[in-house]
Structure 1
Amino acid sequence: MSSGIAILGAGIFAKEAHLPSLAALGHAAPVLKAVYSRSEKSAHDLADAAAIALRLTPPAVYHDGDKSTDLDALLARSDIDAVIVVLPITLQPSVILKALAAGKHVLSEKPVAPDVAQGLGLIQTYNTTYKAKGLIWRVAENFEAEPGFRAAAAAIASGKIGKVIFFRTVVCNYIDKDSKWYKTPWRTVPDYQGGFLLDGGVHTIAALRIMLPHRLTHLSGFASLNKDYLEPHDTINAIVRAGDNFHGTAELTWASPTKSRPVTDGFVITGTDGWLSVNQVTIEGANDPVLRITVKSVIKAEGKGEVEKEEIIEEPVQGVKAELASFFDAIAGKDALNIGEPLEALRDVAFIQAALNSNGSVVDLAELAPSAL
């Protein structure tokens, strides 16, 4: 890309994830030329942080309240080819369409939309109006891009645990009112389904989508609220099926009573010849946490019958960097990773939406999020 990019949204994730990832990409990333926020102060704060992180002249600041510096003015700039949208969930759909209409490539933070209906509408509009024009729209789902989850998928695909027969995922998060994630106003009083379950739960479903060899097709579950300040829901328990291939369980909560995580936290995928687990761990002296994949395989050893073989794979957590690199490569027409497809991201939303509304009934996920649009 010969021109530049802009970040739309100046919250925590823009500062703490996107800026460091752009810095890590170095010259492989386009120049950040502008930032936008609804608030002038937050836009200036992001611009100042970008100048430090990226070692450049502060990008131009855009904000609401003045036509000369609002979002339309930013999108009118011919030297900005693409935008990274990091705005509250309910604001993103309209901004995505506005950016595409202005001829910009778009990378929008997950989830793809607040619900399946809005997601379907967005994808249909993109496919019929903007895709043929060569515009790229990707959804930034960093778990989908994580090298660790992709390494786990490769291990399963290569047959190291045999044929998958069942799986389990447990996500146990603690959120109190002092959490930096809770203190953002749009999370404190969410105007979208599921609260943290939608905002964070799609990560877990994206990881399953990457690792499992077959698409999840049916779900039956229950949702509940256990801490009033995390309304409308904070916990999901679901039984899931992948056609006639295998089944599993998904337990997601943001209502843990303790900061410490149970030892069961993470992913376990079991096959006919072994099992595989994925857990995030912190290694002393390392800058970033790693995803540790443990593969236990049953093999036949001459004279010993069946024995267990263990393999440990560790990959640094770097999903945001990977998803940004993939997006820039897609614009250049050379993307090998090919992640962030909006329809795949829609299936993650469909899972959460189904679990929130199932109340024990079986939901057909393929019917909720059609394969073809």
Structure 2
Amino acid sequence: MVYLISVTIIFSATTEAETALSVYNSFPNQFPYKPIWAVGENYRFEPAFVESSKLIKDIGDMMHIQVIIEGSMNSSNPYFNSSWRRNFVGGFVLDMGVHFIAGLRMLVGSEITSVSSISRHVDMALPPPDNICSLFQLENGCAGVFVFAVNSRSPKLLWRVDGTKGTIEVERGVDSGKHGYQVLFSGENGQCQKKFYPFCGVNEELKMFVQDMLAASKDGDHEAEPRSSYVEGARDVAVLEAMLESSAKQGAPVQVKRFP
């Protein structure tokens, strides 16, 4: 018999994530097979990020990165009054931010090693903090900025990587009535390629989970899709937690906790 678990969850701290991972790793001693634990992070399955991650090698050496997130979390948003999002340290910055960090990590293909951040609480209708500015460094040496306002008058979601041979940009938008992401790629020849990808990350992640279940029912040693792994979700949380910790230390650099 094969046991399978699908979980969409956000932990408030990496210590809780480590505890959960320890429990999960103990399962082979309790069940015939190790359960599949799939974390529902749709950004890792959005075609815009999947395809952009393939193009990143064509921009040469990364020079700098910009992530600009201007959200629209106000009283008209169905998630605005959800109590659980207000009852842990980090509030909407952590709850929403993990998705944007997932998109960043998916795009650049390099782990974030350290951060230096300043956060503030401006909109009293939101739990603190409601905006954060962070300087981060990747393990490949490239630096970037992550700017996130939970509620803005002019919503915008943008990821941009500038390299020695070109630039790649992913921005949320609408095309022909469909919501999704516009991908712009500029190469050495100076020409700009544009392509719009409608949202379908949730559908894609669920399809992959079903495929994993079917495969695991035939093979107890089946390895699940890496993009759905619990560890990937924990790494997203670790980056946001490091940013919040840095802010609590008045912007002092903080190393991002590494997960295996």
Fold shared per TM-score above 0.5: yes
Q: CA deviation at 1:115?
A: 1.4
The gaps in structure 2 that reach 5 residues or longer are 216-221
TM-score, normalised on structure 2? 0.89
List aligned pairs for 1:324-339, cutoff 5 A.
324-333=206-215, 338-339=226-227
**Which residue of structure 1 aligns with residue 185 of structure 2?**
295
What's the secondary structure of 1:289's corresponding residue? strand
Correspondence for 2:169: 277
Distance between the aligned counterparts of 2:223 and 2:33, measured in 1? 18
Aligned to 2:15: 117
Secondary structure in 1 aligned to 2:193?
strand
3-state DSSP of counterpart to 1:230: coil
Tell whether 2:255 aligns with 1:361. Answer: no
2:159 is the alignment partner of 1:261: no
Going by fraction, where is strand more abundant, 1 or 2? 2
Q: Give the Cα separation in 2 of the matches to 1:146 and 1:201.
A: 16
Q: For residues 72-120 of structure 1, what are the alpha-carbon distances to aligned partners after superposition, in whole Å with 9 as ceiling and x for unaligned?
A: xxxxxxxxx9xxxxxxxxxxxxxxxxxxxxx852221242x22111111
4+ runs deviating over 6 angstroms: none
Return the index of the structure with the highest Cα Rg: 1
* Structure with higher RCO (Cα < 8 A, 6+ apart): 2
Output the amino acid matched with 1:105: L
Cα displacement string for residues 271-295 of structure 1 (whole angstroms, at most 9, x for unaligned residues)? 11011110111112x4x31211100
* Match of residue 340, structure 1, among 225, 228, 239: 228
Instruction: Provide closer, same or farther for how the CA distance between residues 236 and 129 of structure 1 changes in structure 2, counting only shifts above 3 A.
Output: same
Q: Deviations over 1:303-342 (max 9, x none)?
A: xxxxx12111222211111111111112222788532111
Pick from 56, 80, 84 the counterpart of residue 186 of structure 1.
84
Matched, 1:311 2:193: yes
CA distance in 1, matches of 2:16, 2:96: 18
Matches within 5 A, 1:60-71: none
Alignment of 1:103-252 (within 5 A): 104-111=3-10, 113-130=11-28, 133-156=33-56, 159-187=57-85, 190-252=86-148
Supply the distance in 1 between the matched residues of 2:55 and 2:109 (Cα, whole angstroms). 11
Cα distance change of structure 1 residues 326 and 183 upon mapping to structure 2, 3 Å threshold: same
163-172 or 242-251, which deviates more: 242-251
Structure 2 Cα separation of the partners of residues 335 and 247 of structure 1: 33
| Deviation (angstroms), 1:229 | 2.0
What residue is the counterpart of 1:77 in the other structure? Answer: none
Q: Structure 1: which 5+ residue stretches go unaligned?
A: 1-80, 82-102, 300-307
> 8 Å contact 1:292–1:313 — kept in the other structure?
yes
8 Å CA contact retained: 2:133, 2:146:
yes
Percent sequence identity is 23
Instruction: Give the direction of change, closer, same or farther, for the CA distance of 1:185–1:104 in structure 2 (3 Å limit).
Output: farther
Cα distance in structure 1, aligned partners of 2:22 and 2:96: 25
**Could you tell me how far apart the structure 1 residues matched to 2:161 and 2:242 are?**
22
Check conservation: 1:138, 1:327, Cα contact below 8 A: yes
Preserved contact between residue 175 and residue 254 of structure 1 (Cα < 8 Å): yes
Residue deviations 1:148-184, cap 9 Å, x none? 111110111xx32112221000000122234211122
Aligned pair count?
249
Q: Which amino acid aligns with 1:215?
A: E
Deviation, 1:230, is: 1.1
**Matching residue of 2:203:** 321
Q: For residues 273 and 110 of structure 1, what CA distance do their matches in structure 2 show?
A: 39
The answer as to whether partners of 1:214 and 1:245 remain within 8 angstroms in 2 is no
When the two chains are superposed, the root-mean-square deviation of aligned CA atoms in Å is 2.1
